[in-house]
A and B are shown apart, each in its own frame.
Chain A
Amino acid sequence: MALIYMNMTLAFTVSLLGLLMYRSHLMSSLLCLEGMMLSLFVTMAITILNSHLILASMIPIIMLVFAACEAALGLSLLVMVSNTYGVDHVQNLNLLQC
C-alpha cells in the first residue's frame, strides 16, 4: 500500500474526531465535515488517476456536488440558529431536555 493512503486516512480520521468532539461553535463541526469531504475527494482522485480508470474520473466531481448540497444545508441550519440566538454556540441547542 502506498504511503500517501496512510496520510489520507489520518486526515479523514482527524477530521472525523474533530466533528464528533465539538467545543463551542457549530461552525467548527461543519468545517470538519468539509474536511472529511476534501480528504475523500483527494483519495478518490488519486486512486482513479493511478489505476487509469478513465471513465471513473467523473465520480470525484459528483461527490463534490453532493458535498456542496450537504454544506449548504448545514449552513442554512446554522443561519437559523444564529438568527434565534445571535451566536452559533452548541450550548444553545438545549430544547430537548431528557
Chain B
Amino acid sequence: MTYIVFILSTMFVVGFLGFSSKPSPIYGGVGLIISGGVGCGIVMNFDGSFLGLMVFLIYLGGMMVVFGYTTAMATELYPEVWISNKAVLGGLMVGLVMELVLVFYVLGEVYGDVVTEFSDLGDWVVYDMEDYGFVNSEAVGVSSLYSYGAWLIVVTGWSLFVGVVVIMEITRGG
C-alpha cells in the first residue's frame, strides 16, 4: 500500500499516452477524463481532499464538458480508435513500452536494496509533524485565497472578464 501513489501515477501516464497518441478527439477526451480521475486519486493520497475534488468538479466537470460538446460539434462521421490507425497504435505502443521499462527498472532498484536505499528511491509517506486539530490544513490554505490572496482574486477575476470579452470578439466573425 506504500506504493499505491506510484501505481496511480503509472496509470496517470498510461492515460496520458491514450490521448497523446492522438486518436479521434472524442476518444482523446475519454483518456483525459480517466487521467483526471486518477490524478484526483493521487492528490487525495497526500491528504489533499479539497484540491482533488477541485480536479473533478472544475477541471472535469467544467472544462471537459465544454471540450466534449465542442468535439461533438466539430467531429467526423467515422472517428478513429486507437487500433484503427498504425500511427496511433505505434505511438501508443512505444509509449507503453517506455513506461513499462522505466517502471520495472525503478522497481528493480527499490526491491534490490530496500533496507539501505529506501529513503532515496522509495515513495513518499507523508510525515505529519504538527497537530492541526480538527481542521484540514489544506482547506485552511485554500480559503486564505480570500484573505491573504485578495489581490490574486482581483487579478484572476479581471483576466477572466477580459478573456470573455476577447472570446466574444473572436467569435463575432465577419
Residues of A within 8 A of B (CB): 2-4, 6-8, 10-11, 14-15, 17-18, 22-23, 25, 27-28, 30-32, 34-35, 38-39, 41-42, 45-46, 49-50, 52-58, 60-62, 64-69, 71-73, 75-80, 82-83, 87-88
Contact = CB atoms under 8 A, between A and B. Distances in A.
Nearest to A29: B22
B74 A4 contact: no
Contacts of A56: 141
Given A27-B25, A34-B32, A61 B124 contact: no
Interface of B: 5-6, 9-10, 12-13, 16-17, 19-22, 24-25, 28-29, 32, 35-36, 39, 42-43, 46-48, 50-52, 54-55, 58-59, 62-64, 66-67, 70-71, 73-76, 87, 95, 98-99, 102, 106, 110, 121-124, 126, 129-130, 137-138, 140-142, 144-145, 148-149, 152, 156, 159-160, 163, 166-167, 170-171, 173
B160 A27 contact: no
B145 A31 contact: no
A80 B170 contact: yes
Contacts, number: 203
Contacts of A46: 42-43, 46, 48, 124
B19 A28 contact: yes
A87 B43 contact: no
